């Protein structure tokens, strides 16, 4: 059987493989090559070795963006997961209206990042001006909080769905057994339920962490990096380096930044997976 | 008995608390609808939170203006066309590819599978410049064939999800079909595809959510003067501050989110199952 399918590989594999080569493999390899070059158009390319990489860290906007992104990712990951887990835990009690609440909390996920950013910009600026505080674009602290509120609003519902599915998979026998052995509800939560849903926690922290770290649309539309690039995150910083700065060297530096960004995402994902996977238990 | 009634009391309080939160949760959407019904002079930062009054009520004039002047219908059409063509292509090609990967044990299968998993971690900024240039060179820069780019960049997730499911499918059914004289093509469309339907729906939902809302890829690949998708449209008009009229802008935002919300209310079961399936595979 194996062999007869194998003969048909041009039909089964070739379309995807071709598109994958055009849409991912070639741009990726070429991107790595260009990070070692100075170029403005793709026709005038000069290899400069590691020069682009050494210039990245003398560009203070990149270092600032890295700091902002790291702090934001950690805070938002913790906030979103704690809130989503709490909501999930309360909603599996079977209270009245559970289905409606689930529907409402998940809904913001379907709205795109650009649109979400503008809705929240109008709303938050309305609130801030009512309280006579500086607007989003003028104060980096409110920009940070605004992004945090926006991301929580968008992502809590998604993570809640995953946690509900995980919690419902914990068989009631185990919880019953724990209760008979004299565990209180807090002990049941921390010693039984949380260890049992560790796979859900792994995937949710992975998703929130990478989503926050790679955030672009919401950042662009909510604050646009204002004031003075203080709320600019890494993805937006790379985009600006590429497309908004004049000067022959910037495209190469932008590409080098993108490579560093990519490596950071890989390292963070691997560390995060390793930490949470090691805590997963078998029932 | 006492314990039971106290549990009931707690549940009642929880329902009330969650109802309040749900109302707050819906408020941003309500606010944008209320603003889209105001006349232009009544829209300002400060009054964003207040309802339209008798004097400032504009009826649907913002909607009519937005649709006519901003060419919103063409953006809507492009978004719809790109999303449907890309998702159909992704589901068809990637399920076929994934079946090959899960049934043929060769070096090609292994390399392709690991490349797909790898591609899911790579941030878009890493390839944005070179991808846009490649698309230009190959003339893949119109709404009618950008789906090939989406197939390439979206293949990772789809192949990963399909392979996960197909590896757990029993081989016996296919072996039986084979003995009955099925060719691999017939086997795929008559036997494998129907069994894979739930995964196809889940994957289609995840990919639709991505393509419909995607901003950066079409911005870099398409010619913004000729073709704009909905997210591009909103960023384009909002980016040029001052000259833009806020009322029609917000009317366009409302037209953008209403169909999505209506679709969600009907297909909620599938969407939520899709999200859970995606998480389990990950």
- Are B49 and A123 in contact (CB < 8 Å)? yes
Most A CBs within 10 A among B3, B43, B126, B155, hence the mutation to make, goes to B126
C-alpha dihedral sign at B172, B174, B175, B177: positive
Tens place of pLDDT for every residue, chain B, 282 residues? Answer: 456 677 788 888 888 888 999 998 888 888 888 888 887 766 766 666 777 776 667 677 778 877 777 678 888 889 999 999 999 999 999 999 998 888 888 888 889 898 988 888 888 888 888 888 888 888 888 888 888 989 988 888 899 888 888 888 888 888 888 888 888 888 888 888 898 888 888 888 888 888 988 888 888 888 877 888 888 888 877 765 555 677 778 888 888 888 888 888 888 888 888 888 777 665
- Are B126 and A20 in contact (CB < 8 Å)? no
Q: Please, are residues A220 and A234 in contact by the beta-carbon 8 Å criterion?
A: no
Closest alpha carbon within chain B to A40: B129
Interface of B with A in 51-90 (CB under 8 A): none
Q: Name which of A258, A112, A30 is nearest B213 in CA terms.
A: A112
Closest alpha carbon within chain A to B128: A27
Q: Is B38 helix (H, G, I), strand (E, B) or coil?
A: strand
- Residue A257 pLDDT more than 70? yes
CB burial string A80-109: b at 16+ within 10 A, e below: bbeebbebbbbbeeebebbeebbbbbbbbb
Q: Which domains does chain A have, with CATH numbers?
A: 2-51 (no CATH), 53-277 (1.10.3720.10)
From chain B, the residues in CB contact with A158 under 8 A are: 275
From chain B, the residues in CB contact with A239 under 8 A are: 125, 128, 216
Long-range CB contacts for residues A90-96, cutoff 8 Å, separation at least 24:
A90/B14, A90/B18, A91/A160, A91/A164, A91/B18, A92/A164, A92/A167, A92/A168, A93/B11, A93/B14, A94/B11, A95/B11, A95/B14, A95/B15, A95/B18, A96/B11, A96/B12, A96/B15
For the segment A87-95, the average pLDDT, to the nearest whole number, is 87
Distance from CA of A114 to the nearest CA of B (A): 6
Break chain B into its structural domains and give their ranges. 2-64, 73-244
Most B CBs within 10 A among A105, A114, A179, A255, hence the mutation to make, goes to A114
Distance from CA of B219 to the nearest CA of A (A): 12
- Are A2 and B103 in contact (CB < 8 Å)? yes
Residue found under tokens 């292994």: B110
The reply to whether B96 touches chain A by the CB within 8 Å rule is: yes
Q: Which CATH class is domain B73-244?
A: mainly alpha
Q: Is B168 helix (H, G, I), strand (E, B) or coil?
A: coil
Question: What digits encode the pLDDT tens for the residues A145-176?
Answer: 889 999 999 999 999 999 998 888 888 888 88
What pairs with residue A39 in β-bridges?
A45
Distance from CA of B114 to the nearest CA of A (A): 12
Most B CBs within 10 A among A98, A110, A133, A265, hence the mutation to make, goes to A110
Out of A31, A111, A214, the one facing B257 most closely (by C-beta) is A111
Out of B152, B178, B214, the one facing A1 most closely (by C-beta) is B178
State which H helix or E strand residue B132 sits in.
helix B128-137
Interface of B with A in 156-215 (CB under 8 A): 156, 159, 171, 174-175, 178, 183-185, 188, 209, 212-215
């Amino acid at each position: 059987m194996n062999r007869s399918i194998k003969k048909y590989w041009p039909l089964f594999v070739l379309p995807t493989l071709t598109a994958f080569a055009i849409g991912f493999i070639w741009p990726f390899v070429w991107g790595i090559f260009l990070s070692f070059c100075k170029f403005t158009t793709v026709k005038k390319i000069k290899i400069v070795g590691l020069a682009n990489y050494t210039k990245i860290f003398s560009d203070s906007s990149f270092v600032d963006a890295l700091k902002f992104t790291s702090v934001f990712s950690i805070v938002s990951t913790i906030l979103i997961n704690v809130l989503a887990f709490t909501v999930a835990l309360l909603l599996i009690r079977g209270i009245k209206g559970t289905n409606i609440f689930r529907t409402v909390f998940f809904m913001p996920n379907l709205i795109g990042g650009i649109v979400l950013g503008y809705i929240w910009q109008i709303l938050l600026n309305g609130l801030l001006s009512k309280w006579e505080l500086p607007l989003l674009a003028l104060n980096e602290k409110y920009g940070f909080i605004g992004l945090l509120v926006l991301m929580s609003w968008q992502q809590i519902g998604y993570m809640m769905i995953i946690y509900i599915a995980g919690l419902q998979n914990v068989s009631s026998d185990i919880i019953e057994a724990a209760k008979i052995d004299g565990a209180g509800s807090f002990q049941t939560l921390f010693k039984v339920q949380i260890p049992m849903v560790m796979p859900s926690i792994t995937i949710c922290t992975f998703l929130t962490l990478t989503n926050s770290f790679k955030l672009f649309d919401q950042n662009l539309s909510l604050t646009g990096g204002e004031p003075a690039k203080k709320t600019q995150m890494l993805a937006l910083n790379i985009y600006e380096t590429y497309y908004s700065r004049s000067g022959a060297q910037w495209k190469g530096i932008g590409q080098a930044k993108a490579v560093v960004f990519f490596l950071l995402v890989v390292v963070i994902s691997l560390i995060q997976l390793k930490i949470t996977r090691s805590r997963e238990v078998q029932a | 008995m006492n314990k039971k009634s106290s549990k009931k009391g707690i549940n009642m309080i929880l329902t009330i608390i969650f109802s309040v939160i749900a109302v707050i949760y819906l408020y941003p959407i309500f606010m944008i609808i209320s603003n889209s019904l105001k006349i232009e002079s009544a829209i300002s930062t400060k009054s964003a939170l207040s309802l339209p009054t008798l004097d400032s009520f504009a009826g649907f004039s913002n909607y009519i203006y937005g649709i006519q002047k901003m060419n919103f219908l063409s953006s809507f059409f492009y978004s719809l066309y790109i999303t449907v063509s890309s998702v159909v292509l992704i589901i068809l090609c990637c399920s076929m590819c994934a079946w090959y990967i899960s049934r043929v044990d060769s070096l090609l299968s292994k390399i392709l599978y690991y490349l797909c998993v790898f591609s899911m971690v790579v941030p878009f900024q890493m390839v944005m410049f070179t991808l846009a240039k490649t698309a230009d060179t190959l003339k893949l820069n119109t709404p009618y064939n950008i789906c090939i780019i989406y197939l390439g960049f979206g293949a990772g997730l789809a192949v990963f999800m399909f392979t996960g499911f197909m590896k757990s499918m029993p081989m016996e059914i296919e072996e039986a079909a084979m003995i009955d004289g099925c060719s691999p093509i017939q086997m795929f469309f008559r036997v494998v595809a129907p069994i894979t339907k739930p995964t196809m729906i889940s994957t289609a939902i995840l990919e639709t959510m991505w393509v419909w809302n995607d901003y950066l890829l079409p911005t870099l690949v398409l010619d913004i003067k000729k073709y704009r998708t909905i997210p591009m449209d909103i960023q384009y008009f909002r980016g040029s501050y001052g000259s833009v009229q806020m009322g029609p802008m917000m009317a366009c935002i409302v037209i953008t989110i209403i169909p999505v919300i209506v679709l969600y209310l009907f297909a909620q079961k599938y969407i939520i199952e899709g999200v859970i399936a995606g998480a389990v595979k990950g």
